[in-house]
Structure 1
Amino acid sequence: MADSCNRNPAALCSSAQGSNTVADGVSSTAQGYQTRTNNSFAHSEGSNTVAGNGRSGGGAASHAEGHLAVTGADTAHAQGYATTASGDAAHAQGYLTAAIGASSHAQGARTRAEGISAHAEGEGTIASGRASHAEGGAFDLARNLAPTRASGESSHAEGIGTIASGFGSHAQGGTNNITFSPGPRALNNFSHAQGLSTISSGIASHAQGALTDARGDLAHAEGYLNIASGIASHAEGFSTVADGDYSHSEGSNTRTSSFAGAHIMGRNGDAIEAHSWFIANGPDEVTRGIGAQWLASTGDMSVQGRFIPGGQDYAELFESVNGEAIDVGYFVTLVDDKIRIATDQDDYILGVTSATPGIIGNGENLRWKDQYMKDEWGRVIKEEVVIPATYDANGMLIQREEVRMQPVLNPDWDTSQAYVPRIKRTEWSAVGMIGILRVRDDGTSRVNGFCRPNGEGMATDSEQGYRVIKRTGPNQIVIILK
């Protein structure tokens, strides 16, 4: 029954205190001004608060405090100004916040925690995905309202105008003016967008920097205005595009041109083959070009310009006749396709064993010479091979089906044997055939004169032969071979 202050403890063991208060739940308490409890064990305090709004039938053991705070679910808690906690065990605090999902938490100003176990904080943020988290919000630099939104389950949005809509996604950063460009958006499962107005729309993709776009699954775009649209691709730098699967573009205005596995760097250029490497060097965006390249189909490398080695001669690798090492600085000759130290009886001189070659031919430095089948001219035989698509355990496409031209393996190749490159084997020597070379001599050779090998393969003075340009020691000279 109401008393002179219109306090009305209407339910069993309830308590109403203050003015115009109503305690309508068993063992509930209403205190302050125009507060009300509508369910058992509820507590309302302050001004115009309601613990258990009566429409949903919930609100047992809930708590509303402040002004115009309302709880509508069991064990909910609303505090502050015009807050609403309508989910079981939800908590809303601050100004005009709403905790709608069960066990959710909204705090700050005008935030909404709509998902189960969601958390919204800051100003104007919305966490609608289960176990999602939205924070930040408020105004962008142009003073436009730019709330953050976490709508994906277990997602996280923070900063200004960010959106995390993918499962387990993360968006952070912001935008200068949301009217023209939203903040970072993480739109797919496990994606991550950060920085200024970035987008990650591929599964587990990552976009960072400013205005970058990671469209491909597992792709990464970073820097400014870059796009990574191929699966597991990477674009970095300025205005680059990695649109081939597991391709990589970097530098400025480079593109992988949809070629899988291509890598391009530099400026203003386009890849021309899959699984190959390029240095772009176009003068501008219209006049595009390549300065250097290595092509997977042939193994050929090209450079638009000069190749400047540190060595002094062109050499080829040759094996010795007796299988033993030949030291540097000796004249050598051929016996069939192998070499020995030359003598004064040899009419033909192949060259000089070189200590500092600039270029080495016949190297076979990367693999056994007969690892792949070859035709009668020594060309590697290739065949068309279909590489099947690859999926992970969850059915996610990792690599698309691809048709490649691959070399045919030699059945005699023994995979159990570790290959040792010729340059590291003592029986092979680099024989300088063109260029400047140091050679051993018997002390008789004259600068500006000529020399030929003596009986021990060392230089000796001669009326004709190889030009001597310098003496570097009592038994060493420098000659020209051409």
Structure 2
Amino acid sequence: MGEELGNTASGFAALAEGLNTTASGAAAHAKGFATLASGDSSHAEGSNTVASASASHAEGHLTQATNDTAHAEGTSTTADGVASHAEGYLTHALGDGSHAEGSMTMAAGAEAHAEGNATQAWGDYSHTEGLSTSTQAGAASAHAEGEGNSAAGRASHAEGGGTDPLGNPAPNFAGGAGSHAEGVGTTSLGFASHAEGGTLDITAAAGPVALGDFAHAEGQSTTASGTASHAEGLQTKASGPSAHAEGVSTLASGLYAHAEGANTTADGQASHAEGFMTQAFGANSHAEGESTTVMPGHPGSHIMGQNGSTRFAYSWHLAGGLAVGPSLNSAVIEGATGNLYLDGTVISPAAADYAEMFETSDGQALEPGYFVTFDGASEKIRKANAEDEYILGVVSGRPAILADASDLRWHKLFVMDEWDRIQYQEVEVPEVRDTEGNVVRAASSKTEPVLNPDWNAAEEYIPRLQRDEWVAVGVIGKLLVRDDGTCRPGGYCMPNDEGIATSAAAGYRVMNRTRDDQVRIFVR
């Protein structure tokens, strides 16, 4: 039909209409100007369009549908894949089942989708949208959107992009499988990693980078390079596996380490540094405050305060160094020995005596305020009387310092020499691994007291302070004592036959009367 206008319909049941159109496929239809429908059941319309495959469709201007059931529309579009669809301007749908729309987009992967301006979807089932020739999804199931972004990892996602605040191009790149990059100038390279945030000037510092598998970097110019690590804030770095860095310019480089605050470093395994310019180098250590340091070789130590460093492993330190001068500690509790070191004074708010624990000879409790002495040649005590030449002290109600209490453990728990010095030994600590074989705690050695072989783990230890037969006896200081009403401030007292104070010409100085039956005395 229409051969008088230069049209040719050579296919069975074909139809050519318009000017210089050709329908050569069976049941093909060509209409418009210089269109070609050469595939069976194909359709070409518009101007200079080509539908060359079975059931293909080309419409518009200079469009081509070259594969079975493909559809090309708009201007200069190409649908080359089976069942592909290209629309808009200079779009290309190359993969089977792919879709390209907008301007200068390309969908090259099977069932890929590219939309917007100059975007490219290379991977199978990938998706791009937005602006720029750099916005491309190069892997299967990848998704890139925004401006200038790339999603190169399988099932990865890149969004945002464009420029930094200074106008420099700052695209995002999702290179790891299952990774996600969003914001400005971010990069996610690790498996299932996530980078979000941006940078003020990409020419000076990149945006957040998630290098480790399962890592997460967020904020401004942060880096999470350790497996399952997390970096957030400004210019923080989490390089250790499962490490966490947050704040400003913090570094968590140890396994499971945590650094927070500003310019802090957590280098030891499972270490924690917080505050300002603190450093935790020992495993399982903790540094907080300002310019405090857990030194290498001091695992399990804790330091807080200002300008100090640790002295012992598995110990607690309170730093009190000079801003200009040496680093110092104002207090230390040594874990291995339990020793307390003070660069100051023990100050009690109300209590005023030094006391030690003694056992009563009859096994009964003694109330505070009684004079006591040793019962004969034993080391046990009883109430004092008027005939006793030696007075040990007064039962204290609240001592400022209490010795020999054995409140934390059995007093013979460790082996001691003939001078009651605790004996120590080096102990090998085995490594610990999790269910996946990762080292949770590295093997090490430490100094520990030698355990007494007589210790019975099945027996419950009851602290002396919880037992009736043990009482605190104040042996020096200001103590409250029961009296019979005869004592006078400025005078002296001694015990009567009931163990309570009575006036005497010499003995213990009476400081003041506190009740009708109580005075405060000084014991020395």
TM-score by length of 2: 0.84
Residue 319 of structure 1 pairs with residue 359 of structure 2: yes
- Give the distance between the partners of 1:286 and 1:220, measured in 2 at CA: 32
Residue 267 of structure 1 pairs with residue 309 of structure 2: no
Residue 30 of structure 1 pairs with residue 41 of structure 2: no
The one-letter amino acid of 1:310's match is P
Task: Name the residue aligned to 2:71.
Answer: 43
Deviation at 1:72, TM superposition (A): 1.8
Instruction: Specify which of 158, 162, 167 is matched with residue 186 of structure 2.
Output: 162
Task: Name the residue aligned to 2:129.
Answer: 107
Deviation at 1:354, TM superposition (A): 2.1
Alignment of 1:216-231 (within 5 A): 216-231=240-255
Superimposed CA distance per residue, residues 439-466 of structure 1 (whole angstroms, 9 cap, x where no aligned partner):
2222222223222222222222222222
Task: Name the residue aligned to 2:229.
Answer: 205
- Give the distance between the partners of 1:79 and 1:420, measured in 2 at CA: 81
Alignment of 1:115-134 (within 5 A): 115-134=139-158
Task: Name the residue aligned to 2:322.
Answer: 283
Deviation at 1:250, TM superposition (A): 2.3
The 1:403–1:23 alpha-carbon spacing in structure 2 relative to 1, beyond 3 Å, is: same
- Give the distance between the partners of 2:149 and 2:435, measured in 1 at CA: 36
Superimposed CA distance per residue, residues 265-293 of structure 1 (whole angstroms, 9 cap, x where no aligned partner):
33333333332332333333874333333
Alignment of 1:19-418 (within 5 A): 19-52=47-80, 59-110=81-132, 111-255=135-279, 256-258=294-296, 259-284=298-323, 287-312=326-351, 313-335=353-375, 336-418=378-460
Deviation at 1:311, TM superposition (A): 4.3
The 1:20–1:245 alpha-carbon spacing in structure 2 relative to 1, beyond 3 Å, is: same
SS in 1 for 2:306: strand
The one-letter amino acid of 2:295's match is S
Instruction: Specify which of 24, 44, 62 is matched with residue 16 of structure 1.
Output: 44
Whether the aligned pair in 2 keeps the contact of 1:232 and 1:245 (CA below 8 Å) is: yes
Superimposed CA distance per residue, residues 155-185 of structure 1 (whole angstroms, 9 cap, x where no aligned partner):
2222222222222222222222222222222
The one-letter amino acid of 1:309's match is S
Deviates more, 1:183-192 or 1:335-344: 335-344
Whether the aligned pair in 2 keeps the contact of 1:25 and 1:38 (CA below 8 Å) is: yes
Whether the aligned pair in 1 keeps the contact of 2:356 and 2:473 (CA below 8 Å) is: yes
- Give the distance between the partners of 1:374 and 1:452, measured in 2 at CA: 39
Deviation at 1:3, TM superposition (A): 4.5
The 1:378–1:148 alpha-carbon spacing in structure 2 relative to 1, beyond 3 Å, is: farther
- Give the distance between the partners of 2:222 and 2:237, measured in 1 at CA: 6
SS in 2 for 1:460: strand
Deviation at 1:71, TM superposition (A): 1.8
SS in 1 for 2:97: coil
Superimposed CA distance per residue, residues 302-322 of structure 1 (whole angstroms, 9 cap, x where no aligned partner):
233333333412222223222
Whether the aligned pair in 1 keeps the contact of 2:336 and 2:449 (CA below 8 Å) is: no
Deviation at 1:402, TM superposition (A): 1.1
- Give the distance between the partners of 2:468 and 2:113, measured in 1 at CA: 79
TM-score by length of 1: 0.91
The 1:268–1:455 alpha-carbon spacing in structure 2 relative to 1, beyond 3 Å, is: same
- Give the distance between the partners of 1:431 and 1:42, measured in 2 at CA: 100
Task: Name the residue aligned to 2:511.
Answer: 469
The 1:21–1:387 alpha-carbon spacing in structure 2 relative to 1, beyond 3 Å, is: same
The 1:425–1:20 alpha-carbon spacing in structure 2 relative to 1, beyond 3 Å, is: farther
Whether the aligned pair in 1 keeps the contact of 2:31 and 2:44 (CA below 8 Å) is: no
- Give the distance between the partners of 1:337 and 1:246, measured in 2 at CA: 48
Task: Name the residue aligned to 2:502.
Answer: 460
- Give the distance between the partners of 1:136 and 1:3, measured in 2 at CA: 43
Which sections of structure 2, spanning at least 5 residues, go unmatched? 1-21, 23-29, 280-293
SS in 2 for 1:333: strand
Between the two proteins, what is the percent identity of the paired residues?
47
The one-letter amino acid of 1:440's match is R
Whether the aligned pair in 2 keeps the contact of 1:33 and 1:47 (CA below 8 Å) is: yes
Cα RMSD after superposing both structures: 2.4
Which sections of structure 1, spanning at least 5 residues, go unmatched? 53-58
SS in 1 for 2:95: coil
Deviation at 1:60, TM superposition (A): 1.5
The 1:329–1:211 alpha-carbon spacing in structure 2 relative to 1, beyond 3 Å, is: farther
SS in 2 for 1:252: coil
- Give the distance between the partners of 1:89 and 1:167, measured in 2 at CA: 24
Task: Name the residue aligned to 2:476.
Answer: 434
